[in-house]
Chain A
Amino acid sequence: AQTVTQSQPEMSVQEAETVTLSCTYDTSESDYYLFWYKQPPSRQMILVIRQEAYKQQNATENRFSVNFQKAAKSFSLKISDSQLGDAAMYFCAYRSAFPPRGDMRFGAGTRLTVKP
Protein backbone atom coordinates (compact mmCIF):
# COMPACT_ATOMS: atom_id res chain seq x y z
CA ALA A 1 0.00 0.00 0.00
CA GLN A 2 1.12 3.52 -0.68
CA THR A 3 2.40 5.50 2.29
CA VAL A 4 3.09 9.19 2.68
CA THR A 5 5.57 10.52 5.22
CA GLN A 6 5.93 14.07 6.50
CA SER A 7 8.93 14.12 8.81
CA GLN A 8 8.44 17.66 10.15
CA PRO A 9 5.58 17.81 12.67
CA GLU A 10 6.11 21.56 13.11
CA MET A 11 7.85 24.34 11.21
CA SER A 12 8.03 28.05 11.69
CA VAL A 13 8.96 30.89 9.36
CA GLN A 14 9.35 34.63 9.62
CA GLU A 15 6.84 36.69 7.66
CA ALA A 16 8.12 37.43 4.11
CA GLU A 17 10.69 34.62 4.33
CA THR A 18 10.71 31.29 2.48
CA VAL A 19 10.00 27.90 4.00
CA THR A 20 10.10 24.37 2.61
CA LEU A 21 7.93 21.51 3.85
CA SER A 22 9.11 17.97 3.19
CA CYS A 23 7.19 14.95 1.97
CA THR A 24 8.25 11.51 0.86
CA TYR A 25 6.10 8.66 -0.38
CA ASP A 26 6.38 5.03 -1.15
CA THR A 27 4.76 3.42 -4.18
CA SER A 28 5.37 0.77 -6.81
CA GLU A 29 3.13 2.53 -9.32
CA SER A 30 4.55 4.53 -12.21
CA ASP A 31 1.63 6.90 -12.67
CA TYR A 32 0.07 8.85 -9.85
CA TYR A 33 -0.74 12.32 -8.58
CA LEU A 34 0.56 14.28 -5.64
CA PHE A 35 -1.16 17.06 -3.76
CA TRP A 36 -0.57 19.57 -1.00
CA TYR A 37 -3.57 20.58 1.08
CA LYS A 38 -3.81 23.36 3.64
CA GLN A 39 -6.03 23.13 6.72
CA PRO A 40 -6.50 26.38 8.67
CA PRO A 41 -8.08 26.39 12.14
CA SER A 42 -11.51 26.41 10.49
CA ARG A 43 -10.85 22.74 9.61
CA GLN A 44 -11.58 23.43 5.95
CA MET A 45 -9.38 21.46 3.54
CA ILE A 46 -7.97 23.69 0.78
CA LEU A 47 -6.03 22.43 -2.22
CA VAL A 48 -2.74 24.31 -2.54
CA ILE A 49 -1.06 22.62 -5.48
CA ARG A 50 -1.02 19.36 -7.42
CA GLN A 51 1.58 17.50 -9.51
CA GLU A 52 1.21 14.79 -12.12
CA ALA A 53 3.95 12.16 -11.81
CA TYR A 54 4.44 11.93 -15.57
CA LYS A 55 5.30 15.63 -15.76
CA GLN A 56 8.92 16.48 -15.05
CA GLN A 57 8.20 20.18 -14.70
CA ASN A 58 7.54 21.26 -11.14
CA ALA A 59 4.11 22.75 -10.49
CA THR A 60 3.79 26.34 -9.30
CA GLU A 61 0.83 28.37 -8.02
CA ASN A 62 1.72 31.96 -7.23
CA ARG A 63 3.89 31.86 -4.08
CA PHE A 64 3.68 28.08 -3.82
CA SER A 65 5.91 25.71 -5.74
CA VAL A 66 7.00 22.11 -5.45
CA ASN A 67 10.25 20.24 -5.89
CA PHE A 68 9.23 16.88 -7.32
CA GLN A 69 11.96 14.25 -7.41
CA LYS A 70 10.34 11.10 -8.82
CA ALA A 71 13.34 8.80 -8.44
CA ALA A 72 13.80 9.83 -4.83
CA LYS A 73 10.02 9.76 -4.24
CA SER A 74 10.17 13.21 -2.75
CA PHE A 75 7.62 16.04 -3.07
CA SER A 76 8.46 19.16 -1.08
CA LEU A 77 6.44 22.37 -0.92
CA LYS A 78 8.12 25.76 -0.99
CA ILE A 79 6.24 28.80 0.25
CA SER A 80 7.82 32.09 -0.77
CA ASP A 81 7.14 35.48 0.79
CA SER A 82 5.30 33.85 3.69
CA GLN A 83 2.20 35.61 4.96
CA LEU A 84 0.38 35.40 8.27
CA GLY A 85 -2.51 33.72 6.45
CA ASP A 86 -0.25 30.83 5.48
CA ALA A 87 -0.26 29.59 9.08
CA ALA A 88 -2.04 26.24 9.02
CA MET A 89 -1.60 22.48 8.93
CA TYR A 90 -0.23 21.28 5.61
CA PHE A 91 -0.87 17.79 4.33
CA CYS A 92 0.88 15.99 1.52
CA ALA A 93 -1.26 13.44 -0.33
CA TYR A 94 -0.89 10.70 -2.92
CA ARG A 95 -3.53 9.46 -5.33
CA SER A 96 -3.28 6.51 -7.67
CA ALA A 97 -3.92 7.12 -11.37
CA PHE A 98 -5.37 3.67 -11.89
CA PRO A 99 -9.14 3.30 -11.50
CA PRO A 100 -10.95 1.98 -9.61
CA ARG A 101 -8.22 2.53 -7.02
CA GLY A 102 -8.52 6.29 -6.87
CA ASP A 103 -8.13 6.53 -3.10
CA MET A 104 -6.11 9.41 -1.70
CA ARG A 105 -3.62 8.85 1.12
CA PHE A 106 -2.37 11.62 3.37
CA GLY A 107 0.70 12.21 5.48
CA ALA A 108 0.55 13.09 9.17
CA GLY A 109 0.82 16.80 8.45
CA THR A 110 3.15 19.70 9.25
CA ARG A 111 1.94 22.58 11.40
CA LEU A 112 3.32 25.84 10.00
CA THR A 113 3.62 28.90 12.22
CA VAL A 114 4.28 32.30 10.65
CA LYS A 115 5.96 34.86 12.92
CA PRO A 116 5.30 38.57 12.31
Chain B
Amino acid sequence: DAGITQSPRYKITETGRQVTLMCHQTWSHSYMFWYRQDLGHGLRLIYYSAAADITDKGEVPDGYVVSRSKTENFPLTLESATRSQTSVYFCASSGTEGNEKLFFGSGTQLSVL
Protein backbone atom coordinates (compact mmCIF):
# COMPACT_ATOMS: atom_id res chain seq x y z
CA ASP B 1 0.00 0.00 0.00
CA ALA B 2 1.16 3.52 -0.72
CA GLY B 3 2.07 5.69 2.23
CA ILE B 4 4.58 6.12 4.96
CA THR B 5 5.12 3.33 7.44
CA GLN B 6 7.08 3.16 10.66
CA SER B 7 8.22 0.13 12.54
CA PRO B 8 8.01 -1.01 15.20
CA ARG B 9 4.85 0.57 16.61
CA TYR B 10 6.02 -0.02 20.17
CA LYS B 11 9.48 -0.74 21.53
CA ILE B 12 10.84 -1.32 25.00
CA THR B 13 14.58 -1.38 25.50
CA GLU B 14 17.19 -0.92 28.20
CA THR B 15 19.65 1.89 28.72
CA GLY B 16 22.83 1.47 26.74
CA ARG B 17 21.32 -0.65 23.99
CA GLN B 18 21.31 0.33 20.35
CA VAL B 19 17.88 0.76 18.82
CA THR B 20 16.90 1.41 15.21
CA LEU B 21 13.54 2.81 14.20
CA MET B 22 12.54 2.24 10.60
CA CYS B 23 10.71 4.53 8.21
CA HIS B 24 9.66 3.74 4.66
CA GLN B 25 7.70 5.86 2.17
CA THR B 26 6.34 4.89 -1.24
CA TRP B 27 5.82 8.33 -2.79
CA SER B 28 9.46 8.98 -3.74
CA HIS B 29 9.30 12.16 -1.68
CA SER B 30 12.57 14.05 -1.55
CA TYR B 31 12.26 15.22 2.06
CA MET B 32 12.09 12.97 5.08
CA PHE B 33 12.05 13.94 8.74
CA TRP B 34 12.33 12.49 12.22
CA TYR B 35 10.56 14.17 15.13
CA ARG B 36 10.13 13.28 18.76
CA GLN B 37 7.01 14.25 20.66
CA ASP B 38 7.13 14.91 24.38
CA LEU B 39 4.53 16.49 26.64
CA GLY B 40 5.08 20.22 26.85
CA HIS B 41 7.52 20.30 23.95
CA GLY B 42 5.38 19.49 20.96
CA LEU B 43 7.23 17.95 18.05
CA ARG B 44 10.94 18.60 17.98
CA LEU B 45 12.98 17.94 14.87
CA ILE B 46 15.80 15.44 15.31
CA TYR B 47 17.15 15.11 11.76
CA TYR B 48 15.91 15.67 8.27
CA SER B 49 17.00 14.76 4.78
CA ALA B 50 16.48 16.73 1.57
CA ALA B 51 17.47 13.81 -0.69
CA ALA B 52 19.32 10.52 -0.66
CA ASP B 53 22.75 10.89 0.96
CA ILE B 54 21.88 14.39 2.24
CA THR B 55 21.04 14.76 5.92
CA ASP B 56 21.03 17.67 8.32
CA LYS B 57 20.64 18.17 12.04
CA GLY B 58 17.48 19.51 13.58
CA GLU B 59 16.85 20.90 17.06
CA VAL B 60 17.74 17.83 19.14
CA PRO B 61 20.19 15.60 17.24
CA ASP B 62 22.45 14.48 20.09
CA GLY B 63 22.42 10.73 20.68
CA TYR B 64 20.84 9.95 17.30
CA VAL B 65 22.23 8.84 13.96
CA VAL B 66 20.47 8.75 10.58
CA SER B 67 21.28 7.53 7.12
CA ARG B 68 19.56 7.76 3.77
CA SER B 69 21.13 5.49 1.20
CA LYS B 70 17.81 5.09 -0.63
CA THR B 71 15.15 7.73 -1.23
CA GLU B 72 12.40 5.63 0.34
CA ASN B 73 14.09 4.71 3.61
CA PHE B 74 15.22 6.88 6.51
CA PRO B 75 16.19 4.84 9.60
CA LEU B 76 16.86 6.49 12.95
CA THR B 77 19.36 4.87 15.29
CA LEU B 78 19.83 5.50 18.99
CA GLU B 79 23.42 4.41 19.45
CA SER B 80 23.24 3.99 23.24
CA ALA B 81 19.71 4.55 24.48
CA THR B 82 19.10 6.72 27.54
CA ARG B 83 15.95 7.18 29.61
CA SER B 84 15.62 10.74 28.32
CA GLN B 85 15.05 9.27 24.87
CA THR B 86 11.78 7.72 26.00
CA SER B 87 9.33 9.39 23.65
CA VAL B 88 7.01 9.00 20.70
CA TYR B 89 8.92 9.22 17.44
CA PHE B 90 7.33 10.35 14.20
CA CYS B 91 8.71 9.98 10.72
CA ALA B 92 7.39 12.27 7.97
CA SER B 93 7.95 12.95 4.29
CA SER B 94 7.11 15.63 1.76
CA GLY B 95 7.81 16.86 -1.71
CA THR B 96 10.26 19.61 -2.53
CA GLU B 97 7.97 22.64 -2.44
CA GLY B 98 7.90 24.61 0.79
CA ASN B 99 4.14 24.88 0.85
CA GLU B 100 3.70 21.13 0.77
CA LYS B 101 2.37 19.49 3.87
CA LEU B 102 4.20 16.73 5.66
CA PHE B 103 2.81 13.22 5.57
CA PHE B 104 3.31 11.54 8.92
CA GLY B 105 3.74 7.94 9.92
CA SER B 106 1.77 6.44 12.81
CA GLY B 107 4.60 6.93 15.28
CA THR B 108 6.78 4.63 17.36
CA GLN B 109 6.34 4.69 21.12
CA LEU B 110 9.77 3.99 22.61
CA SER B 111 10.38 3.26 26.28
CA VAL B 112 13.92 3.11 27.63
CA LEU B 113 14.09 1.39 31.01
Contacts and interface: CB of A to CB of B under 8 A. Distances in A.
Best-surrounded residue of A9, A31, A98, A104 (most CB of chain B within 10 A): A104
Interface in A12-35: 31-33, 35
B99 A33 contact: yes
Interface residues of B, number: 28
Contacts of A97: 98-99
B48 interface: yes
Contacts of B35: 106
From DSSP, what is the main secondary structure of chain B's interface residues? Answer: strand
Interface string B27-63: 0000101010000111111001011001010110000
B41 A100 contact: no
A97 B96 CA distance: 10
Given A44-B106, A45-B90, A99-B50, A105 B96 contact: no
B104 interface: yes
A45 B48 contact: no
A103 interface: yes
Interface in B63-113: 88, 90, 92, 94, 96, 98-99, 101-102, 104, 106-107
Interface of A: 1, 6, 9, 31-33, 35, 43-45, 47, 50, 52, 91, 95-100, 102-109
12 contacts: A9-B40, A45-B104, A50-B101, A95-B98, A95-B99, A97-B98, A97-B99, A104-B45, A104-B102, A105-B59, A106-B43, A107-B42
Going nearest first, the 6 A-B pairs with the smallest beta carbon separation are: A100-B50, A97-B98, A45-B104, A108-B42, A106-B43, A47-B101
